[in-house]
Amino acid sequence: MARASMIIGALLVALGMGAYYGTSRASVTALIPAAFGVPILLLGILALGQRFRKHAMHGAALLAVVGFLVTISGLVDLLTMVLAQPALLAKSAMAILCGIHAGLALKSFVDARRRKPEPSQNA
């Protein structure tokens, strides 16, 4: 899951930078995906070590859920073709990336819970 966080984080940074420079730096808000991507990427790197893995992955998952929730309206607009502009495309792409990351994190947390050994009843 740490590597997935690093990949999703890097894609969000690339999306933000592409949106910002692709629109001739028209608005700094185009960098919002990068603002989510950098911490997700850094938390993914931090999660490579066993010591901080659990906290880093929960932090990355939280950022992905928040990123998904704040951009889901763009995905809905894109699906209904209300608007077709660069900002809407970037917002929709961020929703998709954050949604994928949140789903992968949820699956990882469930799998980790299932792998935990049962506490001994003789204690």
* pLDDT single digits (tens) 79-116: 777 666 788 888 889 999 999 999 999 999 999 889 87
Lookup: tokens for 27: 């608005």
119 in any annotated domain: no
70 in any annotated domain: yes
51 in any annotated domain: yes
Instruction: Calculate the alpha carbon distances from 51 to 16, 27, 46 in Å.
Output: 30, 39, 9
What is the structure's pLDDT at 119? Answer: 66
What is the structure's pLDDT at 76? Answer: 80
In the chain, the amino acid numbered 39 is P
Phi, psi angles (nearest 5°) of residue 49: -90, 140
CA atoms of 64 and 110, how far apart (whole Å): 17
Please state the domain count of the chain.
Answer: 1
67, pLDDT greater than 60: yes
Question: In whole numbers, what is the pLDDT of the chain averaged over residues?
Answer: 89
CB atoms within 10 A of CB 49: 10
- Inter-residue contact 94 to 12 (CB < 8 Å): yes
User: How far from chain centre, in Å, is Cα 106?
Assistant: 12
120 in any annotated domain: no
What is the structure's pLDDT at 121? Answer: 58
Lookup: tokens for 40: 């997700």
Write the burial class of residue 100 (CB in 10 Å: 0-12 exposed, 13-18 middle, 19+ buried). middle
121 in any annotated domain: no
103 in any annotated domain: yes
What pTM was estimated for this model as a whole? Answer: 0.83
What is the structure's pLDDT at 47? Answer: 95
58, pLDDT greater than 80: yes
Domain containing 70: what range? 2-114
90 in any annotated domain: yes
100 in any annotated domain: yes
Q: Across residues 6-29, what is the average pLDDT?
A: 94
